[in-house]
C-alpha cells in the first residue's frame, strides 16, 4: 500500500514539472549567471587607451578611461582593475599636464614673459618626474593584472600573448614620449635661460652655456589708483639699464595678464600712456609694465617687468529684488515685478533686465525708480518639474550686473470634481452622471470620460465646468454586485492636470436575480419543511418496530408493520383518510398538509366535513404538538374515524 502511494507521488512529480514547464525563450536569469571575463578583450581595451596616449591624444584616452568605470569586472579582479585604471588615469593626466605646461612655457618664452616661464618650467619638471614614477608602477601593475587574468598561462603565439606584447610595446612608446618631453623641457629651459641671463632650471641646464646679460629696471606710476570703471587712467614710468635710460623701447601695460596698451620710451627713458579702465566689475585690477628685448636688444638686455600697482575699481553693485509666485503653469503667463537698486537702496533707471525660465526669455527696462515688470509665457509643452528662474540686470556704465535666481515649480493646477452618480443601476439601463469640474485657474474646455465595467463614454465639459454624461449598460452576465465607476476629466488647457473620481455602484440584473431567488426560495423553504415532516414520521415508526420484532419473532411486510404500529390517532386518521378518499375521489397531494386536504375535501363531505375537521385537528396535535393528544382525544379520534368509516358507504 505504501509502495503504491510512493509510486503515485513519483509519477505525479514529472507530470507537475511538465505542467509548469514553459516554452524556450532565449534569456536567462541574471542572478544565476556566472561571471566571466575575457582577458583578450580587456587587453584589447587597454590597447586602445595606450594607443591614444602614444599618439598624445590624451583627451580621448581620458574619455575612454572614464568609460572604463562602466566595464563589468568580476569582483575578485575589481581591485586590481581599478588600481590599473587609476595608474593609467594618473599617467594620462601627468603627460597631458606636462605637454600643456611645456606648450605654455614655450609660448611664454616667445612673448618674453619670463616671470611666469620659470614657474611653468618648474611645474613641467615636477609633472614629468611624477609621470616617470607612474610609468614604473604601471608596468608592475600590468604584470600583476596579466598574471591574474591568465596571460602567462596562455601558450606563446596565442592571441592573448600577442595583445599583451603589444601592450608592453605601447608602454615603451609612451616612455619614448616621456623622454621627448624631457628633451623639450631642457630645450625651453636652455633658451629661456639665454633670455633671463641665469639658469632657470639649474639642475637641468648647465651654467657654462649661459651668456651674461645687462640688467634692466622698470618703474610704473599711475595718476590715480581709485577709479570708476570705464574712466581713463594715466600711467608713466622709467626704463633704465645700469643707471642709463633706455630710449625708444616698447613698453607694454598689462591689466592682470591682458595687454591693454603699448608705448615707447622717450629720449629720457620715460614713457606715458593713457588707457581706459575696462568695464570689469571686480574690486581690484593688477597693473604692470613689461619690457621685452626685441631686435638688437636680444642677448644684450634682460627682460623685466615693473612692480604691480593695484587699481581699486569703483562701481555700483546692483541688487535685483523681485516678487513672483513659486509656481508656474504650462501655457500661462508667469508675472514678475521687481526693482533694481544700488546697495544703498537707490533705484536705478534705464537698466535692461532679462528673465529666463523654462527656455523662455523676457526683457524689460527699469523705470524711474528702478521698477520693472516682466511676463513670461511658459511653453505649453513644458514638462512639470523644478526650473530655475534667472533674472539679470545688464551692466551699464558704473552699474555692475545684478542677478537673481530662484527655483520655480512648473506644475499643473489640480482639478476638483463634484460628481452626482446613482448608487445602483438596474440592467439594462442608462447611467446618468452629472457634476462639475473646477480649478483655481480657468477651466474652459475639457472632456469627461466615464468608465464602468469595460463600457465607456465621453462628453465635453460645458463652459461653466458642469457636465452630464450618459452611459448605456446592456444586460450583463451578472446577478448583482458592486462595480467601480470611474469618471476622468481630461482638461484641454495645458495648465490643468487630469483628475479622476471613483465610486462603487450596485449593478442588478433583475432576470438573473429573480431566477436565482426563485430557486433559492425553493431550496430554503421547501426542503427543511419536508425534512421535518419526514423526520417526525420516521420517529413515530421506530419504537413500535422493535416491539413487534421482539413479540412476534417474525418479520412482517414492512408496510403492514408501519400501519399497525402507528400512533393510534394517526392510525385513525389514515383509516378516515382512506374513507374520505373513497367517498370524495380526492387524493392528498405530496405537498399538501392535512388541513389543506380537509379544505379541499370539505365541500364533498357535507355534514361529515365537521367530523373530518375535528379528526384532522387531533391528528395535527398528534403530529406537530410537543405534548401530544390527551387520552380523551385519542378515544375521540378513534370514534370519529369509526364514524367516518361507518358513514363512508
Tell me which residues touch another protein (CB under 8 A).
18-23, 25-31, 33-38, 40-42, 44-45, 67, 70-72, 383, 449, 456, 458, 477-479, 509, 511-512, 515-516, 519, 522-523, 526-527, 530-531, 534, 537, 558-560, 562-563, 574-575, 577-578, 581, 590
Q: How far is the CB of 604 from another protein (least distance, A)?
A: 18
Q: Among candidates 417, 431, 379, which has minimal Cα distance to 498? A: 417
Task: Tell me how far apart the alpha carbons of residues 105 and 117 are, in angstroms, rounded to a whole number.
Answer: 5
Question: Of 140 and 456, which CB lies nearer to another protein in the complex structure?
Answer: 456
* Tally of CB atoms within 10 A around 101: 23
Question: Of 394 and 545, which CB lies nearer to another protein in the complex structure?
Answer: 545
Q: How far is the CB of 170 from another protein (least distance, A)?
A: 18
Sequence-distant (6+) residues with CB within 8 A of 574 are 563, 566
Q: How far is the CB of 175 from another protein (least distance, A)?
A: 27
Q: Can you give the three-state secondary structure of 90-108, one letter per residue?
A: HHHHHHHHHHHHHHHHHHH
Q: How far is the CB of 19 from another protein (least distance, A)?
A: 5
Question: Of 194 and 574, which CB lies nearer to another protein in the complex structure?
Answer: 574
Question: Of 303 and 579, which CB lies nearer to another protein in the complex structure?
Answer: 579
For residue 127, give the 3-state DSSP assignment. helix
Q: How far is the CB of 450 from another protein (least distance, A)?
A: 12
Q: How far is the CB of 37 from another protein (least distance, A)?
A: 8
CB 326 within 8 A of CB 366: no
- Beta strands 309-314; 226-228: pairing state: parallel
Question: Of 421 and 577, which CB lies nearer to another protein in the complex structure?
Answer: 577
Three cell numbers written together for 631 = 387520552
Q: How far is the CB of 29 from another protein (least distance, A)?
A: 4
Three cell numbers written together for 5 = 502511494
The angle that helices 78-110 and 58-67 make with each other, rounded to 10 degrees, is 160
Q: How far is the CB of 331 from another protein (least distance, A)?
A: 15
Dihedral angle over CA of 118, 124, 128, 129, nearest 10: 40
Task: Tell me how far apart the alpha carbons of residues 414 and 418 are, in angstroms, rounded to a whole number.
Answer: 13
Dihedral angle over CA of 103, 104, 106, 110, nearest 10: 140
Q: Among candidates 558, 648, 553, which has minimal Cα distance to 605? A: 648
- In the sheet with 385-393, reading across from the earlier edge strand, the strands are 327-328, 402-410, 385-393, 352-357, 360-365
Q: How far is the CB of 168 from another protein (least distance, A)?
A: 21
| Rounded (5°) CA angle 421-424-427 | 115
Question: Of 75 and 323, which CB lies nearer to another protein in the complex structure?
Answer: 75
Q: How far is the CB of 470 from another protein (least distance, A)?
A: 17
CB 491 within 8 A of CB 446: yes
Question: Of 245 and 494, which CB lies nearer to another protein in the complex structure?
Answer: 494
Question: Of 23 and 585, which CB lies nearer to another protein in the complex structure?
Answer: 23
Question: Of 3 and 383, which CB lies nearer to another protein in the complex structure?
Answer: 383
CA 539 to chain centre: 75
Question: Of 449 and 462, which CB lies nearer to another protein in the complex structure?
Answer: 449
Task: Tell me how far apart the alpha carbons of residues 196 and 121 are, in angstroms, rounded to a whole number.
Answer: 13
* Tally of CB atoms within 10 A around 314: 13
Q: How far is the CB of 275 from another protein (least distance, A)?
A: 46
**Cα–Cα distance list, 290 to 113, 115, 249, 278, 385 (Å):** 8, 10, 11, 19, 54
Question: Of 68 and 328, which CB lies nearer to another protein in the complex structure?
Answer: 68
Amino acid at each position: 500500500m505504501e509502495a503504491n502511494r510512493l509510486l503515485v507521488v513519483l509519477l505525479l512529480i514529472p507530470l507537475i514539472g511538465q505542467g509548469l514547464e514553459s516554452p524556450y525563450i532565449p534569456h536567462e536569469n541574471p542572478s544565476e549567471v556566472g561571471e566571466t571575463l575575457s582577458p583578450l578583450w580587456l587587453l584589447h581595451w587597454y590597447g586602445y587607451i595606450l594607443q591614444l596616449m602614444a599618439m598624445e591624444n590624451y583627451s580621448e584616452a581620458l574619455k575612454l578611461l572614464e568609460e572604463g568605470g562602466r566595464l563589468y569586472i568580476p569582483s575578485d579582479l575589481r581591485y586590481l582593475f581599478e588600481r590599473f585604471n587609476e595608474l593609467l588615469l594618473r599617467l594620462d593626466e601627468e603627460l597631458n599636464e606636462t605637454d600643456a605646461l611645456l606648450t605654455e612655457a614655450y609660448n611664454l618664452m616667445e612673448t618674453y614673459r619670463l616671470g611666469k616661464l620659470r614657474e611653468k618650467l618648474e611645474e613641467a619638471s615636477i609633472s614629468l618626474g611624477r609621470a616617470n614614477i607612474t610609468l614604473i608602477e604601471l608596468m608592475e601593475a600590468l604584470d600583476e593584472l596579466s598574471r591574474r587574468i591568465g596571460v602567462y598561462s596562455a601558450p606563446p603565439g596565442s592571441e592573448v600573448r600577442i595583445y599583451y606584447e603589444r601592450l608592453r610595446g605601447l608602454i615603451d612608446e609612451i616612455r619614448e614620449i616621456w623622454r621627448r618631453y624631457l628633451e623639450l623641457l631642457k630645450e625651453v629651459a636652455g633658451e629661456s635661460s639665454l633670455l633671463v641671463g641665469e639658469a632657470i632650471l639649474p639642475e637641468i641646464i648647465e651654467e657654462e652655456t649661459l651668456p651674461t646679460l645687462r640688467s634692466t629696471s622698470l618703474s610704473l606710476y599711475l595718476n590715480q589708483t581709485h577709479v570708476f570703471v570705464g574712466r581713463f587712467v594715466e600711467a608713466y614710468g622709467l626704463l633704465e639699464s645700469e643707471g642709463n635710460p633706455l630710449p625708444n623701447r616698447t613698453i607694454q601695460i598689462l591689466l592682470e595678464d591682458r595687454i591693454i596698451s603699448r608705448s615707447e620710451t622717450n629720449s629720457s627713458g620715460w614713457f606715458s600712456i593713457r588707457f581706459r579702465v575696462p568695464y570689469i566689475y571686480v574690486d581690484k585690477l593688477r597693473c604692470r609694465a613689461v619690457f621685452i628685448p626685441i631686435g638688437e636688444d636680444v642677448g644684450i638686455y634682460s627682460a623685466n617687468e615693473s612692480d604691480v600697482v593695484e587699481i581699486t575699481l569703483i562701481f555700483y553693485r546692483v541688487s535685483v529684488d523681485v516678487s513672483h509666485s513659486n509656481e508656474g503653469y504650462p501655457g500661462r503667463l508667469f508675472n514678475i515685478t521687481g526693482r533694481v537698486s544700488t546697495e544703498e537702496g537707490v533705484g536705478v533707471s534705464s537698466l535692461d533686465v532679462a528673465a529666463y525660465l523654462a527656455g523662455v526669455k523676457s526683457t524689460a527696462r527699469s523705470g524711474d525708480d528702478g521698477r520693472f515688470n516682466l511676463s513670461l509665457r511658459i511653453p505649453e509643452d513644458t514638462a512639470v518639474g523644478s526650473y530655475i528662474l534667472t533674472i539679470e540686470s545688464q551692466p551699464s556704465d558704473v552699474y555692475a550686473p545684478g542677478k537673481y535666481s530662484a527655483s520655480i515649480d512648473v506644475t499643473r493646477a489640480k482639478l476638483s470634481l463634484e460628481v452626482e452618480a446613482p448608487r445602483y443601476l438596474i440592467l439594462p439601463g442608462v447611467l446618468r452622471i452629472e457634476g462639475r469640474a473646477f480649478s483655481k485657474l480657468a477651466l474652459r474646455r475639457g472632456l469627461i470620460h466615464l468608465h464602468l465595467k469595460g463600457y465607456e463614454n465621453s462628453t465635453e465639459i460645458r463652459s461653466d465646468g458642469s457636465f452630464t454624461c450618459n452611459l448605456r449598460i446592456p444586460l450583463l452576465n451578472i446577478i448583482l454586485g458592486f462595480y467601480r465607476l470611474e469618471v476622468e476629466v481630461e482638461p484641454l488647457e495645458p495648465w490643468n492636470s487630469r483628475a479622476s473620481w471613483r465610486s462603487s455602484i450596485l449593478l442588478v440584473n433583475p432576470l438573473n436575480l429573480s431566477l436565482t431567488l426563485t430557486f433559492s426560495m425553493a431550496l430554503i423553504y421547501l426542503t427543511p419543511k419536508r425534512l421535518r415532516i419526514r423526520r417526525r414520521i420516521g420517529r413515530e415508526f421506530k419504537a413500535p418496530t422493535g416491539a413487534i420484532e421482539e413479540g412476534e419473532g417474525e418479520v412482517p411486510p414492512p408496510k403492514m408493520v408501519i400501519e399497525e404500529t402507528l400512533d393510534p390517532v394517526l392510525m385513525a386518521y389514515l383509516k378516515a383518510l382512506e374513507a374520505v378518499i373513497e367517498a370524495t375521489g380526492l387524493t392528498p397531494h405530496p405537498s399538501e398538509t392535512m388541513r389543506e386536504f380537509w379544505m379541499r375535501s370539505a365541500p364533498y363531505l357535507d355534514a361529515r366535513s365537521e367530523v373530518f375537521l375535528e379528526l384532522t385537528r387531533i391528528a395535527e396535535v398528534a403530529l406537530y404538538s410537543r405534548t401530544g393528544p390527551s387520552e380523551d382525544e385519542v378515544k375521540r379520534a378513534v370514534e370519529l374515524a369509526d364514524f367516518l368509516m361507518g358513514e363512508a358507504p
